[in-house]
Amino acid sequence: MPGDAGYLARVREAAPNDTVRALVTELAVEAIHAKTVDEVYAGTQLVQVRLRAVDRRVREIQGTMARLGPHAPAEQLAAVQEELWVLQQYGQRLRNRGAAGL
């Protein structure tokens, strides 16, 4: 990280929304485990952050499905199931392809 103490604050302010700001913060506090930080290392870190976000959202959706139960309106249940399927596919792509799956 640059020696400028305000760097993180400026990056967060430039972020377009809270999701990106959270990602910036998460990346900023992640310890660097490599001797050199390159594109591969950065890609690996991004994949891990995305996977955590996907897994968190999958758990939220599964909770929503449980609350809806079997008697939920079909179109509402279908929308929730579709989002779950899309997220699971994205997570699998990230696990299989790494940064190329972003």
Paired tokens of 93: 């792509």
| pLDDT confidence of residue 28 | 76
Paired tokens of 80: 């929730």
Q: What is the pTM of this model?
A: 0.65
C-beta of residue 88 within 8 angstroms of C-beta of residue 58: yes
Answer with the residue of higher pLDDT: 76 or 20: 76
Paired tokens of 84: 């779950």
Answer with the residue of higher pLDDT: 34 or 60: 60
C-beta of residue 102 within 8 angstroms of C-beta of residue 51: no
Identify the band that residue 12 occupies on the pLDDT scale cut at 50, 70 and 90.
confident
Distance CA 63, CA 57 (A): 10
Contacts of 30 (CB under 8 A, 6+ apart): 45, 49
